[in-house]
Amino acid sequence: MSDTMPLSRFRVIDMTQARAGPTAVRLMADWGADVILIEPPLDTGKNRAGLTGTRHEFDFQNLHRNKRSITLNLKTEEGKEVFFKLVKDADVLIENYRSTVKHKLGVDYETVRKVNPRLVYASISGFGQSGPYNNRHGVDQIAQGMGGLMSVTGEPGSGPMRVGVPISDLCAGMFLAHGVLMALLDREVTGEGQWVHTSLLESMINMMDLHAARWLVKGEVSKSAGNNHPTGIPMGLFKAKDAHIVVAGSGNLYPRFCKAVGLEEFIDHPDYDTVDKRSNNRDALNEIIQNKFNEFTLAELTEILIEAGVPCGPVNTLDQVFDNPQVKHLKMSRTQEHPTLGDLDLVGSAINLSNAPKPDTFKRHTPEAGEHTAEILGELGYSTDAIEELQGKKVI
């Protein structure tokens, strides 16, 4: 077992903001990559407040742990010089500028690869790097709408509904990180980097999965099914005496489910004895099940179903989630030791590696803007006097 984290040999330049880009960076930072976050100098008025909150709030702290920060004005020649020195020895650059912006700044892929052909340049956008929408602004809920997710979410007849997390942001970040790792593996063979890119829209459509395939293969447009599974019956949300429960008793589990809760007469009932019949009579079957569940507490029902081998689980609020014994065992909460905010419990990685166990604390706290500027410039060979000169010119 090694003490070295799996990605510790890679340096990542982080030029992202909002959520999708930082999500991709976080997946690398949490596993040891040396991440350098480039931010604008503090007096530009653009220092990190928006959809992810201010710097010391929970969201920003959770997104930007395990990295160093340098402030750098990329609109100055001196700032560009520092930037390209960073690029020269980097393995990965991740950005989420619109196409026109990165070309105007001169930090686009074609320009950057001339300095470092081995660099993996990774981009996230709202709608893609080319095409009629490539310079549009895009945010998570727009992608949820345009990608079809909102059309299949919510109760039937209630109209479109967004999901409760920024799913297109998070998925785009995960897809981009996956692409970066593929490009790094490819570089081991070719010796060259490449441009990796995805978008909120592409990620959302990919995550539509069975619904998208249903349209492409069968020409059928999925509709919202509320808390029912779109195809598995009975499967979905029910209520015990005291709390809600999600139960999956479909397919071959149906007879076992009926026996466990005392509904044996419905196993061979002519209205419910096949999958198709249960689908056609879903509402009536759900009502029968709900009436039966009214006899049990959540604890009683859970015990009965687990004993019978029928998957089930409660609907937890977040305080209940982190109080759950399995969640505690999985250590999904990790501590960040922050010099001014104190110890903060943040959300841990969902990945487990047998040869690289997750540490109990994060290696680095979420940095203040420019916290490591002098340190990073020193690594690039800048003297104290040169750093002070750059500061005086408002380059850093």
What are the pLDDT digits (tens) for 313-335? 999 999 999 999 999 999 999 99
pLDDT at 1: 42
Residue 264 CB coordination number (10 Å): 12
Give the model confidence (pLDDT) of 105-114 as tens digits: 999 999 999 9
45 — pLDDT class (breaks 50, 70, 90): very low
Task: Mark whether 103 and 44 lie in a shared domain.
Answer: yes
Q: How far is CA 299 from CA 20, 101, 234, 248, 323, in A?
A: 39, 56, 20, 17, 16
Would you state the structure tokens that stand for residue 71, as one six-digit string?
A: 């402030």
pLDDT in tens, 166-217: 999 999 999 999 999 999 999 999 999 999 999 999 999 999 999 999 999 9
- Does position 47 have pLDDT exceeding 80, yes or no? no
- What's the rounded mean pLDDT across residues 44-69? 82
216 lies in a domain?
no
Model pTM above 0.85: yes
169 catalytic residue (yes or no) = yes
Tokens of 45: 């008025």
The CATH number that applies at residue 364 is 3.40.50.10540
Angle at 354 between CA 349 and CA 356, to 5 degrees: 60
Tokens of 263: 């509904």
The token pair at 360 is 């109990």
Q: In the 3-class helix/strand/coil scheme, how is 199-228 assigned residue by residue?
A: EHHHHHHHHCHHHHHHHHHHCCCCCCCCCE
Summarised one tens digit per residue, pLDDT across range 217-235 is 999 999 999 999 888 999 9
What pLDDT digit, counting tens, does each position of 70-88 carry? 999 999 999 999 999 999 9
Q: Check pLDDT > 80 for residue 43.
A: no
- Please indicate, yes or no, whether residues 199 and 57 belong to a single structural domain of this protein: yes
**Is residue 176 located within the same domain as residue 245?**
no
pLDDT at position 3? 63
Q: Identify which of 19, 13, 18 has the alpha carbon closest to the alpha carbon of residue 34.
A: 13
Mean of pLDDT values over 32-58? 80
The one-letter amino acid code at 225 reads A
> Residue 358: which pLDDT band, with cuts at 50, 70 and 90?
confident
Kindly state whether residue 229 falls inside one of the protein's structural domains: no
- Residue 49: predicted pLDDT: 53
Q: Do 179 and 247 have their domain in common?
A: no
> Sign of dihedral through CA atoms 178, 67, 16, 18?
positive
- Residue 138 is assigned to a structural domain of this protein: yes
Mean pLDDT, rounded, of the chain: 96
- Asked if residue 263 and residue 202 are part of one domain, the reply reads no
Q: Residue 242's domain spans which residues?
A: 235-321
Choice among 30, 108, 140, 169 that is catalytic: 169
